[in-house]
Amino acid sequence: MSGALKDATAIVGIGQTPFAKNLVESERTLACRAIIAALDDAGIAPAEVDGFASYTMEETDEVEVAKSIGAGDVTFFSKVGYGGGGSCATVAHLAAAVATGQATVGVAWRSRKRGSGKRPWTNTAVQLPTPGQWTRPFGLLRPADEIGLLARRYMHEFGATRDHLFNVALACRNRANQNPAAMMYERPLTREMYMTSRWISEPLCLFDNCLETDGALACVVVSAERARDCRRKPVYVHSAAQGLPAQHHGMVNYWNDDPLTGPSWATARHLWKNSDLTPEDVDVAQIYDAFTPLIPLSLEGYGFCGRGEGAAFTEGGALEIGGRLPINTGGGGLSEAYVHGFNLINEGVKQLRGDSTAQVPDAATCLVTAGEGVPTSALLLRS
């Protein structure tokens, strides 16, 4: 079976709405706009769509989407859990469905009004996430607090500093400053702004945290054969993986032998195993950045450097255009938009089409990752 998925499918259409703090339209409307834009980009009629994949946290379900856009008979639909950990898996599920004949035209999407809506952690009636009894009574309330604990330990064990986290925030902000669609397009970041900003959960400051965004994105997956007849240059799904490592506990992963070796490691092992590529072959990466510390952890997990070397990897402009590994070239969750990582998928497609606003010259391979710190997923895309 190994390799059955390799290059068998391609992303042939992408779509997005504006990104803003407050959009007037509903999540449902935004979802339909992004999906119809993606189908239009692909040159595929909505009536041909027979597969859907999204996140369990997506509030607009397949029934609403299918009847609104005018899909035909839908023969595959799936939802992936764990918030932003599911982003790449939505494409992976469609790729598997298309490769095995369960669907012919698949649409993945995420629509979210996080900018104007309530934050999940403010709900006191449910103890989110599942192990909430062990964390929430002690005021460990938000994902920023949960990741902040891992970040402090990482800094302690490996000598990482706030300057390393700033390198991450700056690379994303610099790319957003090139991207007119980004929420932070005309808002440069300086080291002074970073170092004097307010704390959210010390050691994490305001600029270590992703944006609060209203917006929606979608993409279209078809077979490689069909992709050759589409309007746009195909971007092939070269390898895809999900990862729930042994003894993993979700965002509050303090209870296994090595909490700093997160789901990226397990996902990466499977991703590379089914790939012709190695980390050295990756031209550009879109790495899930709900919080800056997730970047060094992911750089280690996906094999761009050794254990404990992720912070040092960010030095010397390594993450900028022209650096060792340009990342989050649309601005990422930190500076373009935070839509549970779906903008990272679409930006990967733009890079491999050659039409990113911060284009890496001749980019032919792109790693896209989903949320580190939760059961996660990743894609290796190639042109």
Partner 1 sequence: MTALPTEPARSAEPAPATTGDGLLLPVPDDDGAPFWEYARRGELRVQACAACGVLRFPPRPCCPHCQSFDSEWRRMSGRGRIWSYVFPHPPLLPAYAEQAPYNAIVVELLDAPRIRLVGNLVTSADAPLDSVDPSRLRIGAGVKVAFHAMADGVTVPRWLLERP
Helix (H, G, I), strand (E, B) or coil at 257: coil
Q: How far is the CB of 219 from partner 1 (least distance, A)?
A: 31
156 is an interface residue for partner 1 by CB under 8 A? yes
Which of 152, 270 has the CB closer to partner 1? 152
196 is an interface residue for partner 1 by CB under 8 A? no
Is the separation of the CB atoms in 264 and 369 below 8 Å?
A: yes
24 is an interface residue for partner 1 by CB under 8 A? no
H/E segment holding residue 366: strand 365-369
138 is an interface residue for partner 1 by CB under 8 A? yes
137 is an interface residue for partner 1 by CB under 8 A? yes
Q: Among 58-66, 195-203, 217-225, 300-308, which window interacts with partner 1 (CB under 8 A)?
A: 195-203
221 is an interface residue for partner 1 by CB under 8 A? no
> For residues 316 and 248, what is the distance between their CA atoms, to the nearest angstrom?
33
Annotate each residue in 197-216 with x if it binds partner 1 (CB under 8 A) or - if it does not, as one string: -xxxxxxx------------
Terminal Cα distance for the chain, rounded: 23
In the 8-state DSSP scheme, what is residue 198?
A: P
Number of Cβ within a 10 Å radius of residue 83: 24
Is the separation of the CB atoms in 246 and 255 below 8 Å?
A: no
Which of 153, 273 has the CB closer to partner 1? 153
231 is an interface residue for partner 1 by CB under 8 A? no
Q: Among 121-129, 213-221, 269-277, 331-339, which window interacts with partner 1 (CB under 8 A)?
A: 121-129
Q: 122 Cβ partners below 8 Å, 6+ apart?
A: none
Which of 142, 382 has the CB closer to partner 1? 142
H/E segment holding residue 93: helix 87-99
Is the separation of the CB atoms in 289 and 267 below 8 Å?
A: no
Is the separation of the CB atoms in 150 and 252 below 8 Å?
A: no
367 is an interface residue for partner 1 by CB under 8 A? no
Burial-class residue 11 by CB neighbours within 10 Å (0-12, 13-18, 19+).
buried
Whole-angstrom Cα Rg for the chain: 19
21 is an interface residue for partner 1 by CB under 8 A? no
In the 8-state DSSP scheme, what is residue 207?
A: G
Which of 208, 347 has the CB closer to partner 1? 208
The single residue among 65, 149, 210, 374 that binds partner 1, judged by CB under 8 A, is: 149
Is the separation of the CB atoms in 356 and 332 below 8 Å?
A: no
Q: Among 57-65, 79-87, 126-134, 328-336, which window interacts with partner 1 (CB under 8 A)?
A: 126-134
Q: Among 139-147, 224-232, 273-281, 351-359, which window interacts with partner 1 (CB under 8 A)?
A: 139-147
125 is an interface residue for partner 1 by CB under 8 A? yes
Q: How far is the CB of 126 from partner 1 (least distance, A)?
A: 8
140 is an interface residue for partner 1 by CB under 8 A? yes
The single residue among 18, 120, 132, 354 that binds partner 1, judged by CB under 8 A, is: 132
Q: Among 55-63, 79-87, 138-146, 218-226, which window interacts with partner 1 (CB under 8 A)?
A: 138-146
The single residue among 2, 124, 196, 278 that binds partner 1, judged by CB under 8 A, is: 124
State the sign of the Cα–Cα–Cα–Cα dihedral 76, 81, 85, 87: positive
The single residue among 142, 162, 238, 382 that binds partner 1, judged by CB under 8 A, is: 142
Question: Which residues between 253 and 312 bind partner 1 (CB under 8 A)?
Answer: 254-257, 259
- Residues 350-368 as b/e (b if ≥16 CB within 10 A, e otherwise) read bbbbeebbbbbeebebbbb
Which of 205, 319 has the CB closer to partner 1? 205
Is the separation of the CB atoms in 51 and 102 below 8 Å?
A: yes
Q: How many CA atoms lie less than 13 Å away from 96 in the CB half-sphere?
A: 15
145 is an interface residue for partner 1 by CB under 8 A? yes
Is the separation of the CB atoms in 335 and 175 below 8 Å?
A: yes
Helix (H, G, I), strand (E, B) or coil at 369: strand
What amino acid positions are annotated as catalytic residues? 288, 338
Residue ranges in contact with partner 1 by CB under 8 A: 119, 122, 124-127, 131-142, 144-145, 148-150, 152-153, 156, 198-204, 247, 249, 252, 254-257, 259
